[in-house]
Every structure is written in C-alpha cells, then in structure tokens.
Structure 1
C-alpha cells in the first residue's frame, strides 16, 4: 500500500513619446496616452505615475513605478448610478459606475466600482504599488496576484494567514513588487468567496520583445476577455449549501467583461454586451482569462473564426495549435490569435458550459468588424454542440484516442523539464477527495465542523492526503512559531494508517534549490469533475496527464507506485514539456508535474474552485527556511488569537 502522502529525499551522486520609433519587432498597439496632471499621484512625498492612466503603454525597456488605488466596497447591480437603465433607457446603462452584469438586482463587491475589477496593464520590469483600501464594513480582504511568482516579494502573494494577515475593515494594505515576467495574469481576492462576487480583474504584463509577435499584427489593451461565472444571489448564500433539490452550486450565467444578457420568461432584455472591434485583414492577440470560480468549465467560440492558441498561464509558450474551441476551467489563461478574415459584419462570441450537470449555462459577446452596421438579433442562435477541435479538453481522458480533444499534456512546450540526474530530489503524492459526513457526526451537539453541501444531501469536507485544510490564526510567513501546535497537523494525520480524516493546517517541507516531483490525482471512487490545481510561487512542467483505468484502490496504488519510480528515475519524457501554474486534473485522473524550488517561502497549492478551497482542498509547501527570505517589511501587520488567562 502506498501511503497517502510521502516525501522522499534521495541523494544520487516606459512610455514611447511622439518622436520615438517603436521597435521593429514589436507589433502595433493602440493606446490613449495622457499627459494631464492627474497622471501622477502623490504617495508619501513622492510623485508616482497613476498606473491606470500612464502605465498602459508600448514597452521600451525603461521601467516605471506604477501606482494603483484599489477601493474594495459593497455595491449593487443596477444601482442608482444606472438611473433608468433597467427601464428602457439604454444610454443610462453606460453611465460611470453603472454595473449591469446580467440584469438581476443583487449585491456585489467591487474594486473601484467596476465589474470585473479594473484591468492593470504594465510592462515587464515595472514596479506595482497597489494600495488596497478595505471599505467594507464587516469583512476582511486580501489580493492575490495570480501567476506572479513574487520571487523576492514573498510578503505580497496575498494569501490570508499564509503570507499576510487579512486587511481589516477601514484599513489599507500596500502591495509593492516588481513584475519580472510578461504575460496574461489576473488579480483577485483570496479571502472567502469574494472573487465570486466581483473582486477579480485582469493583470497584463507586456515586454519590449515578444518572440511570438510574428503571429499577430495588434495586441490591443481592450482585447482582454475576462470570463466569470455569476449567480443571481451573493456567493456566500450558497455556503454551506441548501438542503433543497432545486438549489445547487451551479452558476446562473457567465459574464464576459462583466456584461451579459438578461433572461426572464424565455425572453431577453437589452443590456450592453461586451464588444471587441477588429479590422478586416488584421490578426489580433486575444487574452482569455478564466475568472470562473465554480465547477462549470466554459467553452469559448468565435462565430465563423478559428483561433491559434499560443500561450498558457502568463507567457508559458508552446508550439501553437489551430483550434475551433478554447475550454477555460477556473484560473486558466490562454492567449489566442484571431485573423479577421470574414466578411465585414458582426459575429457572436459564444461562452457556454460543456458539462451536462451545468444546465446549459451560456453567454455571448460581440465581435464587430470596422464598418459593420449590421443589426444583431437577440437572443442569439443556439450554437452547434459540435465543438470541433477543442483546446484544453478538460473532460477528456487525455489518452490521445480523439484527435479533436487537445489536452495540455499533448502540447509541445518550448523548454525541457529539469532532470534529476545525480541531484537531490523530493517527491510528493497529492491525492484529493471528499469526506462524506453522516448527520449524526456532523450535527452532534457541541461540534461545529466546517462542511459544504454542493447539492442536496451531499454534505462533505474536502481533503488533500486525507487532511482538510484549515487556516491558522497567525501568518505562517512571519509568525510561524506563534501558531498554536494544535492548529498544525500532527504526525498521526500524515500516517497511512489513520482511519479518520484530520482538519488542520497541512504543510510539507521542501528543500531549497531542488527538483520536486508531484503527482496530483483524483482519489475519488465515483464520476468526478476536472479539478483545477493552482500552485503559488512556481511554474511547473506537465509531464503526463491521464485517467486511471480502474477506480479499484489497489490497482490505482500500483499504478501510482509505478509512476513514482518512473519520475524518480527520470524515466519519463522531459523534452519540450508544457508549463503551467494551474492544471486541470482529469475526472478520476492524474497529472505528473515537476518544478525546481528556486523560490523560498510558504506557497499554497489548492483547488481553484472557490467552494472546494473553503471546504479544505489545499496544502502549503514550505520551501527552504526563514534565512532565505528577504527582511520582513517594517510595520508589517501581525495577527493571532487573544486568549489571556481567565
């Protein structure tokens, strides 16, 4: 029998002005520059560029310091700013601070009264200074910069009680870091379910030189497509869930850049839709961001157009693939090239769920050619269920039997995975599952166990290696020695012989500057869903992706044991492997990953479905020791229990 978790350490021997010329290797970008006085903000005694106004630019190799003020507050869909938007005055829907979403009145949480949060677009090498003001009356918040490794800036990863204390109501926390990697990222709250209610937005980092610029003519700032799932009531109302057959943790719709159609009584009501302009004959880079949080993957299709997929998760390149459909699971990001080669007109962009249990959730946006005056008839036509060539086919077995379903493991990356050779290495199994409560256990008087009820009658807590993760009361990165021992998982929780799951702070020690093999696998025994696993602080190579041929525990363990030995002996394909920071584990399947621990700190590994993280599907990798970390910032907030003697 393979223990559910084990760790093996084995030793074998700037801005371009009017008089400047853009570099010939940079495609054209369309920007609205500003030189007005409000392009600067006073921070302390220093004038710093207003990042929203002055840092969206053609990169020239001259880094800037870009300041962003992010005000987080409670707000409402179709509130007072929208005036008569909902009553037949479409122009009111476009007023400043009007949020329409899908036209259902509900509360939400906004950053600067925008949905999604305002896009941050900078250049590689820029310093981001982001002041997050918590204007909510009764909730804390943190901001995670998804995909940014934060190497050298570990205190700004934005995970509550792992890298910082939560930002209290009425206070401001300053994130201060340099972005040293280009690509498509995003930022979101890592506190509770806030990202589901609006605290999530695009983070785009461009570079002076892009080795893939020959694929496109234009990389427009407004060609960022942020896809979010949306419910007609606040997300927290679905936690822990309802004991009702008609209410489950399934979105009511998708939103594209915060906009969508309103459906009521089988008819649509006109609301603004997201629009993307193109000129015939040009090739455009579109940046697709899977800002979804629930377990319904979304298929993106451009009516009448195929797209060329070129990068994943930031700027992790692979040999491009021409596809009909791009599947986005939670936290996926893919950059694609669209050639505007059709007749001048207006085309639909379809976003639709691919799983039957998601009840056909869908949304549309518009792809408009310059010169098109075509009237768009709504509701849109029902798209064909034939998805053609699917990129990131998360529901596939990934065994190559269907050439129309491209999994990440099928891609040819542009870098080799690191070999172990005669070096130290570490190995981890990460098996995830759910523990199903019986009512006598869950509702026993005097016990208050956290649980989730995704649909009626299934009351569970989520597990990683038979442990349901709970956050400690103090920040692991700066106050680890102050965390009460009873909060940390004890040795029995890591034993393969333990019968009942633990609920505690689950972490694994990994040595610094070491090759690490991690097998992430679905340890369930019933039809599953593709779980998206995100690792903070690192990019990893995907060595293999597949599905277990049997759910029999003994057969599964034999296969895991064989894969472990293959990994540890470099008996796997390391050549040209794709890289990710988030990977979907196929239903009842596995992913073999490898990365190099060159980034010390405390890094969260977790399922990116928001309710699964809240239910405990997470663990922390502690890489290296405190001596490898930069100094703790002066006056860095502290937190913990207050338990004086009675």
Structure 2
C-alpha cells in the first residue's frame, strides 16, 4: 500500500526482475497533469521496462481519493502486481468528513482474481490489529467497534472483465466517493463495481455485536465465482445469519431505466470540494464542445490466433491487457469500429517514429479508414 498526502511528489523506482518479460506500472486514477509520460502505459506513454532494467516514476499526487497501481500486462496484474494508492487530504477539505469518525488503512478492501476462476478479497496490513478467535482466521476480516462510523475504501483490481456485486449482511452503506471524486451521499444495500472502479463507503457499526459476512459475487460474465470476508464487531462471539434488509437501494449500471429501488451509478451527482469551489470561475455549466464516441465490441468467434494483437500469453496472442472469459471467442473493444494495436514506438514520446500506415481514422460518413483489416472484417 502507498499512502501520500495531496500534492506530495511521488517517486517510485521500479526494477524489473522478471526473466524475459517487459513491464510497466500504471497509476490508476492519477490525472498526471504535467507528467503524462509517467502514466505507465507501455508503447503509448513510455517504452516498457525491459528485464533487468529500472525506471523511475515521478509525479505529483494532485487528486485525492482512493486509487491503485498495477502492472499494465494482464498476466502480471493477475499475478499480484498491484496495490492501493491512497492520496489523503486534510479533513477540512473533505466534504463528507462529518459522516464518519475513522478512515483506517486496515479498512481498504481490494478485490483481485486469478483469472478467471477464483475471486480474492484481500486485506492489507492484516497483522496490524487484534485477530478474533481462530475459527475466523481463514477469512479476510475487518474489525469495527460498535457505535462508530467507518470509511471503507473498496477497489476492484480484477484484471479481467469481471464486475462484482458487493454487500455486507444486515448493513446499509453510504456511497460518498467514486473513483476519488466526492458524490452526493447515497444509501445502498448492494453495489456493482466494475474492474478499475473504486468506491468510498461509510459503514455505521450500529448493529448487534456479531460477525457478519461481507459478500463479493461475480456479476454478469463471471457470475459463477464468489468470495466472502468477515466484518467483525469487537467482542463478537458468533457469525450472524444473513438478515434481508427492508428498503435501501441496490446500485445498478446494467438496467435500462432507474427505478425507485435502484441507485443508478450514472446518475450519481458530484459534491463540490474546497478546491473545486476555488476553480469555479474557470468552469461553465454548459460545455463549449461535446464529443460522442461509439464504444462496442467485435466478437472473434473460434479464435485460433489468426489476429495478431501483438500481445502473447503462453504462446497465444491476445488483445493487449485484456483476457476473454469465453475461451472460444474473443471480445475486442472498439471506438467507432476501430480497435487497438500497440504501435511500434511510444506514441506520446516518439510520435514521429510511428508510421501513418498504422494509424486509423474515419471518413466524412464516420466509417473507419484503415490500412489493415483482419479476416473477421473489423478495423485494427
């Protein structure tokens, strides 16, 4: 876990000791204003870090909140090269500081997966607080004292396309931040978290002194996997059976319309911060320009390696930084019918070394104009 204060300068030396593998570290959530070359995307913002080489990342932690770092190669990410990156701010700058008493590092919940069959709920610095009785030690566990309110920082660090459903038995939680940005508080009972998303939740430890299940279940494409952790009230002796909550809301991003019982994530409203109020004169409620980009997937059925995505996993080429859950097909993300291949040189730092033949665009009708097409007929 990396913890810094807002506006600190973060310096990280990454030494690659992976034999025969390149790597790069992405700082997920950092805006990298003034330091775009430190974003950690190989062949886009930097050359990859070769085996037995070292690279120093230096950037300013300008935006507070819950973030995380991870290797930008999906196999390394899935293998454990990731961790929380917390950027703290003074309490007087937190618009939700009055909603909780404690913001503890042992209440960082980071979700990971050994793609695609197992789900892991991890707890950082688990040895730093008193453990309960031995029968609970096989689970990740989170201690609270009755009568207090705690901020929990939940990170979906799963490297594959795996949304999860997060809930705590018998408890509602309050959403106060999403991806490091304060939002108007919203009480919910269950939360759908997509890969890369982070939520700050406030939990009121006002229930019966007991042990409660914290449940994480794969959703949508990976609904067959699940895992539990434990929320343990200090002094608890037994596991509390699940009690369905009356009222409350579920979070949803997959429903076409938002009903009264759903807290629709796209409709969460931001909450002004001290710094945003200072910059209010620079902002307008009406944008000067609006751009719309179509995002969808191309399905490559019966994938046999004919499409060279310039990314190799155990000898088989895959779409870069992406693994398909379905072994018989490959889902390739596209913007405006144009997918992505790594360029021959980092496009940010060595743009003049990237030949125009490898770049795709659109004609006046919005159709892709590319020099290379796959046998499946979509634009690379």
TM-score normalised by length of structure 1:
0.49
The answer as to whether partners of 2:303 and 2:329 remain within 8 angstroms in 1 is no
Using a 3 Å threshold, how does the CA distance of structure 1 residues 198 and 282 change in structure 2: closer, same or farther?
same
Q: Which of 200, 205, 210 lines up with 1:345 in the alignment?
A: 210
In structure 1, how many angstroms separate the alpha carbons of the residues matched to 2:299 and 2:110?
Answer: 33
- What residue number does 1:465 align with? 336
SS at 1:170's partner residue?
coil
- What residue number does 1:436 align with? 300
Q: CA deviation at 1:307?
A: 0.9
- What residue number does 2:311 align with? none
- What residue number does 1:393 align with? 252
The answer as to whether partners of 2:293 and 2:335 remain within 8 angstroms in 1 is no
- What residue number does 1:482 align with? 353
- What residue number does 2:264 align with? 407
Q: Which of 300, 322, 325 lines up with 2:190 in the alignment?
A: 325
Q: CA deviation at 1:450?
A: 5.6
Using a 3 Å threshold, how does the CA distance of structure 1 residues 359 and 461 change in structure 2: closer, same or farther?
closer
Deviations 1:546-597 (A, max 9, x none): xxxxxxxxxxxxxxxxxxxxxxxxxxxxxxxxxxxxxxxxxxxxxxxxxxxx
Q: CA deviation at 1:462?
A: 3.7
- What residue number does 2:73 align with? 191
The answer as to whether partners of 1:122 and 1:204 remain within 8 angstroms in 2 is yes
TM-score normalised by length of structure 2:
0.80
Deviations 1:61-118 (A, max 9, x none): xxxxxxxxxxxxxxxxxxxxxxxxxxxxxxxxxxxxxxxxxxxxxxxxxxxxxxxxxx
- What residue number does 2:118 align with? 252
Q: CA deviation at 1:158?
A: 0.5
The answer as to whether partners of 2:302 and 2:329 remain within 8 angstroms in 1 is no
Structure 2: state its 5+ residue gaps: 126-134, 273-279, 309-315
In structure 2, how many angstroms separate the alpha carbons of the residues matched to 1:137 and 1:293?
Answer: 22
Using a 3 Å threshold, how does the CA distance of structure 1 residues 438 and 387 change in structure 2: closer, same or farther?
farther
The answer as to whether partners of 1:145 and 1:188 remain within 8 angstroms in 2 is yes
Using a 3 Å threshold, how does the CA distance of structure 1 residues 389 and 207 change in structure 2: closer, same or farther?
same
In structure 1, how many angstroms separate the alpha carbons of the residues matched to 2:305 and 2:18?
Answer: 36
SS at 1:478's partner residue?
coil
In structure 1, how many angstroms separate the alpha carbons of the residues matched to 2:158 and 2:331?
Answer: 22
What does 1:80-479 correspond to in 2, within 5 Å? Answer: 119-208=1-90, 209=92, 210-231=94-115, 250-257=116-123, 272-314=138-180, 316-355=181-220, 358-372=222-236, 374-376=237-239, 389-397=248-256, 399-400=257-258, 402-414=259-271, 418-420=284-286, 423=288, 425=289, 427-436=291-300, 442=306, 454-459=325-330, 461-479=332-350
Structure 1: state its 5+ residue gaps: 1-118, 232-249, 260-268, 505-614, 618-646
Using a 3 Å threshold, how does the CA distance of structure 1 residues 616 and 178 change in structure 2: closer, same or farther?
farther
Deviations 1:159-180 (A, max 9, x none): 1011111011111111111212
Deviations 1:445-500 (A, max 9, x none): xxx986676425435544322222001121112111012333222666x8645599
In structure 2, how many angstroms separate the alpha carbons of the residues matched to 1:346 and 1:281?
Answer: 15
Using a 3 Å threshold, how does the CA distance of structure 1 residues 420 and 271 change in structure 2: closer, same or farther?
same
Q: CA deviation at 1:501?
A: 9.3
Using a 3 Å threshold, how does the CA distance of structure 1 residues 276 and 254 change in structure 2: closer, same or farther?
same
Using a 3 Å threshold, how does the CA distance of structure 1 residues 440 and 270 change in structure 2: closer, same or farther?
closer
In structure 2, how many angstroms separate the alpha carbons of the residues matched to 1:228 and 1:440?
Answer: 28
In structure 2, how many angstroms separate the alpha carbons of the residues matched to 1:502 and 1:430?
Answer: 20
In structure 2, how many angstroms separate the alpha carbons of the residues matched to 1:147 and 1:206?
Answer: 14
Q: CA deviation at 1:224?
A: 0.6
In structure 2, how many angstroms separate the alpha carbons of the residues matched to 1:149 and 1:455?
Answer: 33
Using a 3 Å threshold, how does the CA distance of structure 1 residues 440 and 172 change in structure 2: closer, same or farther?
closer
The answer as to whether partners of 2:112 and 2:159 remain within 8 angstroms in 1 is yes
